[in-house]
């Protein structure tokens, strides 16, 4: 017997219909690339997105075509996304921080036909356009007055281009399984792999993400996604915010501590989200200028492990609740969120901070298990760690063109490449990437745990731990430190600081000081480069 309810395809552009109708006046505020602040609302975004859709069709874009964007978070980027979605094309976000050759490779793999690009990134595209034969048009996200000279023959200013179409356009209706967007993994080893979101997966994922025990977002929030739309599906903020009618504050290209602080306070942001490196810059700026964050209630921190010291500073110094979250490009991206269930609600002090260092519990729609190498599930005892696997309606079932098939098994479990343990209440904690974990004398050492402890030292700005070959133990940990400005901590003081919190054999065999720790295009510590940097290193006495 079939249910007798309506077929109502879950299409992303219906989110913007809803926002325009019921939250039409809600502001979308951006720091424009040209400089001044720009203010619009969901009603206008909805109108201009339909202009984009109609104009794309005039350019010969049809259903399923890939339309790339290389842009900061601004209202124009949002309009472009919804225009692309509403006519059945596929948004493809490009990360400008990748090497130009890698960007060209990705654009060719996806066969992008048209590109929306910010002024900031035009030089990158000028340098690689010849290598991307499928690219027929480049729309520069600015107005005619700010349009620069460019050697690209097929470039046009967005405001001029969009006004060649009116908003008299009915969104297309199609099957909810249709591709909506693409985002490539950062590819620290091998070529990047294409993740393809569907309309259904994006809509379900946004409904999941908004829930009270997840991001708890509502129409009363003023949400600032500092995380760029080109990182892991923009953490779904372009869908969750209009779905619940939250205002969006878009930071544009201003990613430094001072710019973030200015926009947080002037626009009275209540909630924001980004990777730890962004918050490191903000906290340093706040300490320098003696700032405060009276409007900000919650900060989502993910993309890399959030050190407990950062959680403590946000909560105890600035009164801002930290929501530690874990996810992946392949998961749309939300996997777990560390909000407090009743079992943990009453924790205080250090016990609460320790809990918040965990990546948290999954929402309905994310299935999760931790297994040993033979795929046997491990107990939920907060210490047995193994491979973290996931499945669900917003988790990839394959990569574009079938690459990386070995990460998916016959029962649809996707091997995340992360190593984790789970506690009795289902809170997951990442201990490492599988390729970063240190194998010492047949046992595993968590590099993340050591890093989290080391950055708690008052004179340490950043810490990374890598495994170095050892004649007796296979590998031993080396702690790499960036000192805080004006500080000169000794090796012993750092080791003494972490000694009491770990098993004796976890203590790093040495400490090395560097000026910088390399980061990936999405703000994670780049351990492959760091390992290369220390490839000739030998522990004292070995
Ligand atoms: P990406 O697809 O670029 O977002 O990278 C996903 C990877 O980032 C995950 O597989 C983890 O290794 C790492 N990651 C994301 N969030 C966290 C977190 N809260 N703690 C530790 N690692 C994280």
CATH number at residue 193: 3.40.50.12780
Atom of ligand 1 nearest to the CA of 416: 10
- The stretches in the chain having pLDDT less than 70 are 187-189
How many domains would you assign to the chain? Answer: 3
SS3 207: helix
CA 533 to chain centre: 26
Q: And the tokens for 119?
A: 């002024």
Whether 150 sits among the annotated catalytic residues: the reply is no
pLDDT of residue 505: 92
Tokens 């390729």 appear where?
Answer: 435
User: Based on the domain organization, do 381 and 443 belong to the same domain?
Assistant: no
User: Based on the domain organization, do 456 and 509 belong to the same domain?
Assistant: yes
User: Based on the domain organization, do 138 and 178 belong to the same domain?
Assistant: yes
Tokens 């929306």 appear where?
Answer: 116
Q: Is the CB of 328 under 6 A from ligand 1?
A: yes
**pLDDT tens profile 468-495:** 999 889 999 999 999 998 999 999 999 9
Examine residue 480 and state whether it is found in any structural domain, yes or no. Answer: yes
User: Based on the domain organization, do 118 and 175 belong to the same domain?
Assistant: yes
Rounded to 5°, angle at Cα 373 from 371 and 375: 50
Q: Mention every residue, 6+ apart, whose C-beta is less than 8 A from residue 68.
A: 91, 92, 93, 94, 107, 110, 112, 114, 115, 116, 135
Instruction: Of 236, 252, 219, give the one whose Cα is nearest residue 25.
Output: 219
Q: How many whole angstroms separate alpha carbon 467 and alpha carbon 478?
A: 6
Q: At what angle do helices 42-58 and 13-22 cross, to 10 degrees?
A: 140
Whether 330 sits among the annotated catalytic residues: the reply is yes
pLDDT of residue 356: 97
**pLDDT tens profile 127-164:** 999 999 999 999 999 999 999 999 999 999 999 999 99
User: Based on the domain organization, do 489 and 393 belong to the same domain?
Assistant: no
**pLDDT tens profile 363-391:** 999 999 999 989 999 999 999 999 999 99
Q: Is the CB of 332 under 6 A from ligand 1?
A: no
Find the 392 Cα to ligand 1 centroid distance in Å.
18
Phi, psi (deg, nearest 5) at residue 351: -60, -40
Query: What's the domain range around 38?
Result: 13-198
pLDDT of residue 388: 97
Whether 444 sits among the annotated catalytic residues: the reply is yes
User: Based on the domain organization, do 426 and 521 belong to the same domain?
Assistant: no
Among 147, 163, 198, identify where a domain stops: 198
String of DSSP letters for 111-153? TEEEEEE-GGGHHHHHHHGGG-TT--EEEESS-GGGPPP-S-T
Per annotation, catalytic residue among 444, 473, 491, 528 = 444
Which string of b and e fits 77-103 if b means at least 16 CB within 10 Å?
Answer: bbbbbbbbbbbbbbbbbbbbbbeeebb
User: Based on the domain organization, do 32 and 165 belong to the same domain?
Assistant: yes
């Amino acid at each position: 017997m079939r249910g007798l309810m309506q077929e109502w395809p879950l299409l992303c552009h219906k989110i913007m219909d809803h926002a325009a109708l019921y939250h039409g006046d809600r502001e979308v505020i951006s720091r424009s690339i040209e400089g001044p602040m720009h203010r619009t609302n969901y009603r206008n975004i909805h109108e201009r997105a339909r202009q984009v859709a109609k104009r794309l069709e005039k350019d010969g874009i049809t259903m399923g075509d890939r339309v790339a964007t290389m842009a900061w978070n601004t209202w124009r980027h949002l309009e472009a996304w919804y225009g692309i979605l509403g006519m059945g094309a596929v948004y493809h976000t490009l990360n400008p921080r990748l090497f130009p050759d890698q960007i060209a490779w990705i654009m060719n793999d996806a066969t992008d036909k048209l590109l929306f690009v910010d002024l900031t990134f035009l030089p990158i595209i000028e340098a690689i356009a010849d290598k991307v034969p499928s690219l027929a048009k480049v729309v520069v996200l600015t107005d005619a007055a700010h349009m620069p000279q460019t050697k690209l023959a097929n470039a046009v200013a967005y405001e001029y281009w969009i006004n060649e179409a009116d908003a008299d356009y009915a969104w297309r209706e199609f099957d909810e399984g249709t591709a909506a967007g693409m985002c490539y993994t950062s590819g620290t080893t091998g070529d990047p792999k294409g993740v393809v979101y569907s309309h259904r997966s994006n809509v379900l994922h946004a409904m999941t993400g908004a829930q009270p025990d997840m991001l708890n977002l509502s129409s009363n929030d003023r949400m600032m996604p500092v995380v760029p739309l080109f990182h892991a599906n923009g953490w779904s903020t372009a869908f969750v915010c209009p779905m619940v009618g939250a205002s969006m504050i878009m930071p544009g290209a201003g990613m430094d501590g001072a710019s973030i602080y200015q926009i947080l306070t002037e626009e009275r942001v209540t909630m924001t989200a980004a990777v730890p490196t962004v918050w490191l810059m903000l906290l340093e700026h706040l300490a320098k200028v003696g700032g405060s964050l009276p409007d900000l209630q919650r900060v989502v921190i993910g993309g890399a492990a959030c050190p407990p010291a950062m959680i403590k500073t946000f909560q105890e110094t600035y009164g801002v609740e930290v929501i530690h979250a874990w996810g992946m490009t392949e998961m749309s991206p939300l996997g777990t969120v560390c909000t407090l269930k009743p079992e943990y609600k009453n924790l205080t002090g250090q016990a609460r901070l320790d809990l918040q260092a965990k990546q948290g519990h999954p929402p309905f729609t994310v299935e999760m298990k931790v297994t040993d190498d033979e795929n046997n599930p491990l107990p939920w005892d907060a210490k047995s760690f193994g491979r973290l696997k996931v499945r669900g309606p917003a988790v990839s079932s394959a990569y574009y063109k079938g690459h990386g098939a070995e990460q998916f098994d016959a029962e649809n479990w996707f091997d995340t490449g992360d190593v984790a343990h789970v506690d009795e209440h289902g809170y997951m904690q990442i201990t490492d990437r599988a390729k970063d974990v240190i194998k010492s004398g047949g046992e595993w050492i968590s590099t993340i745990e050591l890093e989290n402890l080391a950055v708690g030292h008052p004179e340490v700005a950043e810490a990374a731990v890598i495994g170095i070959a050892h004649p007796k133990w296979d590998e031993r940990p080396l702690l790499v430190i960036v000192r805080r400005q004006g500080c000169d901590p000794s090796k012993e003081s750092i080791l003494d600081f972490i000694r009491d919190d770990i098993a004796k054999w976890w203590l790093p065999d040495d400490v090395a000081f560097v000026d910088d720790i390399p980061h990936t295009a999405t703000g994670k510590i780049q351990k492959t480069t760091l390992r290369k940097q220390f490839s000739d290193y030998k522990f004292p006495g070995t």
